[in-house]
Chains A and B, each alone.
Chain A
């Protein structure tokens, strides 16, 4: 079982926004919804690799900044009729601090 890594305080992710976790094998985008749920996706759009962290967040999804595909947070799937999937990572929030499992 992979361990939980501390990301940082929930406060530091804007509501309806995202931050980037830099990693050796590509970046991870960590999103915060309007109801303060947190999700993590690989920061690569399944379409042409656009940085999802730079998109507009709405509901439990983000619109990619390059060509407007909409990617769901729960499963990383592109909203129909587009087809494609990006990796998701487990996250949790404890005492206002965000953790991720890689």
Chain B
């Protein structure tokens, strides 16, 4: 017999929990849902666009009744539960329907608050919460002229805008002098008011409603200052109150909402609660993003996976009034312990404020230009130290470097056939269609369904914007650190810490200790874990070829037709007749179709059959060449220019410096690929300032640059320091690599890593602290003892991984 799960409240949070549960434990429960509303489940936040005539009810349904049938869920729609009998473990609805439960989930949402003034029950007084309310408002727009909306918050303004779209004369009454004062500061509130006034909305600010006038039907509104105005309908949008009556009557502990712990359980552990009816760590929420986080945790717990915890959310806000862009998040008012940076361009109607505390973003409010809202929110969530980027923080996340769609960032302005994701050829229209038809809510969903932003990721911001503009609401994930992958709830940093502290020296040991959710992990976590264990325990851990991406397993790059490419190392970009002759011979001997000079100063042999790889390598090895690791999360190339060896401007011997660096650093596994370059003078012909570690020679020595990237998103290096001798160049280089190896997340290149931890931190570890530098350098050299073996030679001549290259059988 399956256990019985009953859900009370067929709304956004409750049904989301059921969806999450069905994903992970579809067979576990026999599920029943009670919903007071007479429909399936719909997207409540889109009621605003429905009211404004931009969407229809059909378009906002999330799950129709067929969905409930398909998933074997008993839906009691239009039935309000009036009693929970905890002793007998059953719930009873208004019409007498009873269902017993083993576990109960409360998701009753909230009720609109009705201000206690005379006349608040007259006909024509409407709240804004559900489809029924929208129907009533739409009906009023057909018959009446004057609307008064009480409440200048998010809901009130969206209601006012909707009614105005239908030609009503709308007055918004607000109790303070700033609209949306919980989301906006005075400055932004004033800009908002101005643009709404330009559209024809009227405001009565700092007005306190005293009575609603009329006999049976609303006729007008009177304020405390004596003013009276005419009204045919009055929309109450002054706030919401968690709907906890049912829980209270059942003796479940409530304060401002139903009190739950981090696993979303109420004081009765059989009874869970999620959504707006809940109070968690003293906080109640009124936006969807945190509720979806709660849903995930509750589902996880109901499925008895039991490791997820909800730890609260920071939310951000946008207003769904077409043509008005505003964004706010966190503590945007600040106090005496915070500082603020403000940018204002009154002519363009743009205002931005970022609030900082101890060099971290704690809040932001923006009006008119909200492109960087997601970025500020990210900085806030990640608690990034922004001291190094402070001077250009207000200019935004300089999208200029992005390949593919540099400069293009106003998603709303894009037409449907404009390409968003250049890697996978996904247009805006495809994404919008997937979001609406497949009912997607998160970036991960969009990635899975459309592949947009699933490859290089440079269009992530754009996809997020499309998501936001399509859905209207705010769906940025809650601010918990991202788990490593779907197989675990632990983050990269937590996993790395456990590997070190517990001395975990194999992937299995990590998965066991951290209770991985899948038996073998997946293609995302296994390569990361493999790297983390060998980076932490170079002597003890054994590399696991089966957890490596094919390129690193086969030591060659797989091509689209299943053949491979071979790139031998050319130290510092230098070669010789002997090497070139060997390459020419090998190409002819194995009929290799393409020979190409790469962007990394060496030669690529493309189209080699897998079976031929060991023999190709053998011939190259015999001429003294080794793997160039063109496939590896490891040192790729060290580009050099001719330098003082030949060049009339050269100030140092850049070729030999480059060769030395390459010889000492090749072979090491790293979080991502790592590229270096050495230029002989500031003309910088080796392009050292877009490399992970770049060296530029000057008369008096060497400038060391770090964190450059030339790929998807161009980033010029930061200057680390200047040194005098070659030995110092090497020491700093090795220490930098080791710090990166020990601390960056898998697949995080030095550029995003430095942006995350800050250049000051890297300087402090490597430049300012000689002891630490030496220690890092020595750790790197120690690890190189195990790493510097030519993988080609091992496979070509020493019989390593033989099975990789030969078929097990031939049939015909």
> Residues of A at under 8 Å CB distance from B?
5, 7-8, 12-17, 19-24, 27, 30, 33-35, 48-51, 54-59, 63, 65-68, 70, 81, 102
Contacts and interface: CB of A to CB of B under 8 A. Distances in A.
B560 interface: yes
B560 A48 contact: yes
B769 interface: no
B16 interface: no
Given A7-B808, A56-B547, A66-B560, A34 B523 contact: no
Contacts of B522: 56, 58, 63
Given A13-B808, A21-B810, A57 B560 contact: no
B539 interface: no
B445 to A, nearest CB: 9
Contacts of B518: 58-59
Contacts of A16: 520, 546-547
Contacts of B546: 14-17, 56-57
Contacts of A50: 562
A102 B521 CA distance: 31
A7 B451 CA distance: 37
Given A13-B803, A21-B811, A51-B562, 18 more contacts: A12-B808, A13-B808, A14-B546, A16-B547, A21-B808, A21-B810, A22-B811, A23-B810, A35-B519, A54-B554, A56-B522, A56-B526, A58-B522, A58-B523, A63-B523, A65-B550, A66-B558, A68-B523
A65 B808 contact: no
A83 B293 CA distance: 28
B39 interface: no
A33 B547 CA distance: 13
A14 to B, nearest CB: 6
Contacts of B548: 56
Contact of B520 (A12, A58, A81): A58
B545 interface: yes
B546 to A, nearest CB: 4
Contacts of B519: 34-35, 58-59
A21 B810 CA distance: 6
19 contacts: A12-B808, A21-B807, A21-B808, A21-B810, A21-B811, A23-B811, A34-B519, A51-B562, A56-B526, A56-B546, A57-B546, A58-B519, A58-B520, A58-B523, A59-B520, A63-B522, A65-B549, A68-B523, A81-B449
Contacts of B449: 81
Interface string B785-811: 000000000000000000100011111
B322 to A, nearest CB: 30
Given A14-B803, A56-B526, A22 B809 contact: yes
B421 to A, nearest CB: 13
A55 to B, nearest CB: 7
Contacts of B554: 54
Nearest to A62: B523
B666 to A, nearest CB: 24
Contact of A19 (B520, B545, B560, B807): B807
Q: Which 4 residue pairs of A and B lie closest in terms of their CB atoms, listed nearest first?
A: A63-B523, A19-B808, A56-B523, A54-B550
Interface string B513-552: 0000011111100110000000000000000011111100
Contact of B808 (A30, A66, A67, A68): A30
A18 B803 CA distance: 9
Please indicate which of the listed interface residues A8, A13, A51 has the most CB atoms of chain B within 10 Å of its own CB.
Answer: A51
Contacts of B549: 56, 65
A54 B520 CA distance: 17
B24 interface: no
Contacts of B415: none
Contacts of B576: none
Interface residues of B, number: 31
A33 B546 CA distance: 11
Contacts of A17: 545-546
Nearest to B455: A67
A23 B526 contact: no
A65 B811 CA distance: 24
A30 B811 CA distance: 13
Contacts of B523: 55-56, 58, 63, 68, 70
Given A19-B803, A21-B811, A55 B520 contact: no
Please indicate which of the listed interface residues B545, B546, B808, B810 has the most CB atoms of chain A within 10 Å of its own CB.
Answer: B808
A22 B558 contact: no
B115 interface: no
Given A34-B520, A58-B518, A65-B558, A24 B812 contact: yes
A8 B545 contact: no
B713 to A, nearest CB: 21
A24 B810 CA distance: 9
B521 A81 contact: no
A66 B547 CA distance: 16
Contacts of B448: 81
B286 to A, nearest CB: 31
B809 A8 contact: yes
Interface string B300-324: 0000000000000000000000000
Contacts of A59: 518-520
Nearest to B519: A59
A67 B523 CA distance: 11
B255 to A, nearest CB: 41
A12 B804 CA distance: 10
B809 to A, nearest CB: 5
A20 B545 contact: no
A2 to B, nearest CB: 12
Given A14-B546, A58-B518, A63-B522, A23 B812 contact: yes
A54 to B, nearest CB: 4
Contacts of A102: 811
A102 B548 CA distance: 30
Nearest to B448: A81
Nearest to A44: B562
A12 to B, nearest CB: 6
Contacts of A22: 807, 809-811
A8 B808 contact: yes
Contacts of A51: 558, 562
Nearest to B802: A12
Please indicate which of the listed interface residues A48, A51, A56 has the most CB atoms of chain B within 10 Å of its own CB.
Answer: A56
Contacts of B438: 81
B458 to A, nearest CB: 17
A17 B454 CA distance: 25
Contacts of A5: 811
B521 to A, nearest CB: 6
A81 to B, nearest CB: 5
Nearest to A54: B550
A48 B425 CA distance: 15
A14 B545 contact: yes
Nearest to A8: B808
